[in-house]
Structures are given as C-alpha cells and as structure tokens.
Amino acid sequence: MKPGDKAKCPHCAEETILKEKVEMDGWQATARSLVCAICGRKIADLDKELEQQKDQEATTTKAGSLAALLGEDPEQPKPKLKAEAGERHFCRDCIHYLVHPFLSRCEKKKKAVNPMDDCRDFKKVERKTEKDNSDSEK
C-alpha cells in the first residue's frame, strides 16, 4: 500500500483513499504511517511497507522486469554490429563534404546533406593523426 491507493478502512468500514501522515518530534520525523482520509485513523506503518518494497526492488532490477515483460533472458549477450572500413560511406568522411556553421554541403552534388548520409560518389578523406603531424615536423 502507498499514499493515494484506494482501500477499505477497517475502522469506519468505508472505501477510502490512503493518506501519508508523518509524526514529528520537534523538527525530526519519528514515524510515517498511512491513515484513512475519512476518519483519520492509522491503517498501516509506512516505514515497514517501504522496507519491504526496497527489499523487493533490490531483488528485481529494471532490466530484469523489462526482460520478463518481453519474455527474454536478461543475461543474453547483445549482438555487436561492426562495419568494415570499406562499408562506411558517410558524407562526413568524404572529400566532397564541406562543413559550414549554417549548412553542411556536398560540393560534388552542390546540395545540402547530413553528415550521416551516404552516397555512391564517396571518396574517403585521408586524415592526418597527431603522430603523423609530429613525424612531419622532425
């Protein structure tokens, strides 16, 4: 049970909504309980309920509950998708790709493109690494 749930009060025998009541000792919260919204009498200790819920949540993870919902094994290895270097033909890696602050263009086709687009006219850019730059300076 939690605050806001509907329940039948054992004291007034009415269908009610549970409210959370915090008992205070000065500025310290000493206890939390669920009370009837109609008669205001105590129905259950919220502290014990929360401890039980935390124990249940510790045993079941979010991934485990999702896997149970979908009917899958949560420990099943995930497939790895790897593309060969020759298969990656993204515009961002092409020599015809022009980066501009307001627009990314393909200079071969003279049109706006997205960095992750691909095309048949792809030619890979040869990018120098820091190691290549340091070798050329020597």
Alpha helical stretches, state H, the chain: 46-59, 62-70, 130-137
The alpha carbons of the chain give a radius of gyration, in whole angstroms, of 32
- 123 within 8 A of 94, measured Cβ to Cβ: yes
pLDDT tens-place string over residues 3-52: 888 889 988 888 988 999 988 888 887 888 889 998 989 988 887 766 66
pLDDT tens-place string over residues 62-98: 666 667 777 776 666 777 777 676 667 888 888 888 8
